[in-house]
Amino acid sequence: MLNRRDFMKLGLGACLLPAVGCSRAEAVVSETMYVFGTLVGVDVLASDKAAARAAIADVSHAFTRQNRDWHAWKPGALGDLNRAIAAGRTHEVDDDLLPLLHQARDLARASGGLFNPAIGRLVGLWGFHNDEMPVGTPPHADAVAELVAAAPSMDDLVFDGSRVGSRNPQVQLDLGGHAKGVALNQALDRLATRGYADALVNLGGNLAVSGTRGGRPWRIGVRHPQGGHSDLRHSQNGGAIASLEVSGRMAVVTSGTYERYRQHGDRRYPHIIDPRSGQPATHVVSATVLHPDAARADVAATALVVAGAEAWPEVARSMGVSEVMLVDEAGRVQLTPGMAAKLEFVAPPASVTTVEIA
Ligand code: ADP
Ligand code: MG
């Protein structure tokens, strides 16, 4: 079911700010769909609308497969692997999932373990393995401590060709911070293979573009992390904190603590968990990363939220991302010079600090 918020999410993820100069024969063909628990939009520049729609349908089918196969808690290929790991068995992994696991392991290492897709049990313990947002008392401290002490890590995985096992049965894989980035990359690849070199794919506010929008850059809105529902609706700027122009192969991915959380009284426990403490990351409200590789951008955005407002530059450096914007709980913005050069604030933030990470 689509709700108003989903529509806003999509709209704001890709504010295609007005007026496009497309060549006479070409126009933007747009489709929206609901996958990955979010609203998804695909725009391609095309002269043959019907052919473009067929290509987008292909992409849409791939999203549906990926959502099923890589789902963190519903039955599918990843679920099968998780069950085998819990039972101490090895498992044959298919050609789509296997490279994801290798990449997730490499990126987890690069993040110093702040991105850790092996902490599925913790994510589940906090109640996030559910379509509904959890409410009520946080999990018992002992239960959290036990899972932290079990130290599940991607380095526990043992790869033997396409057979995968884990030395640690407490590993439970959750690719929620990575899979959408992979899906974005593959969607652009799939469109390019079919001749659509100018495209924008928006997975619930995480975007990737290729080429241009008829010779002009794609214009993208980065959603204001602290805009509540009504703020977003009534805001003059449609709830965007900033806009930026991107062209060529580029992803703009935002991870935030404002979107999915456990509500208990007036406290919110976000869905991004610090693997070191087992506690939700609360001090950074959002991290936005620009990178040509959407998978790396997705993972880095999650890791930077965990890293927090002081440690993030070091983690960005080790993950090879240099175009970053962080917003903290007080609305203060930190950004790298690379990001500053591309971005325009829609509404002036509480403060803006430029941080060199190189
Ligand atoms: P979104 O999916 O909303 O865009 P993210 O990309 O930040 O947000 O992914 C958050 C998801 O990643 C969580 O819902 C959970 O499934 C998983 N996750 C939570 N904490 C971590 C972590 N420290 N490392 C890796 N994955 C995590
Ligand atoms: Mg992410």
Strand pairing category for 351-354 and 332-335: parallel
Residue 232 is encoded by which pair of tokens? Answer: 């977003």
Strand pairing category for 240-246 and 218-223: antiparallel
- Is residue 59 in a domain? no
Atom of ligand 1 nearest to the CA of 72: 16
- Is residue 156 in a domain? yes
Ligand 1: residue of 125, 132, 182, 272 to mutate (most ligand atoms within 8 A of CB) is: 272
- Is residue 118 in a domain? yes
| Arithmetic mean of pLDDT over the chain | 91
Taking the centre of ligand 1 as the mean of its atom positions, its distance from the CA of residue 305, in whole angstroms, is 10
- Is residue 187 in a domain? no
Among 24-38, 146-160, 220-234, the least confident range? 220-234
Task: Say if CB 240 and CB 223 are below 8 A apart.
Answer: yes
Distance CA 346, CA 3 (A): 25
Q: Domain range spanning residue 142?
A: 77-166
- Is residue 250 in a domain? no
Residue 104 belongs to domain with CATH number: 1.10.3980.10
- Is residue 146 in a domain? yes
Provide the number of structural domains found in the chain: 1
Handedness of CA 185, 31, 61, 7 (dihedral sign): positive
- Is residue 229 in a domain? no
- Is residue 94 in a domain? yes
Which ligand is closest to the CA of 298, given by its number?
Answer: 2
Average pLDDT for 82-105: 98
The structure's pTM equals: 0.91
pLDDT digits (tens, 9 = 90+) for 121-178: 999 999 999 999 999 999 999 999 999 999 999 999 999 999 999 999 999 999 999 9
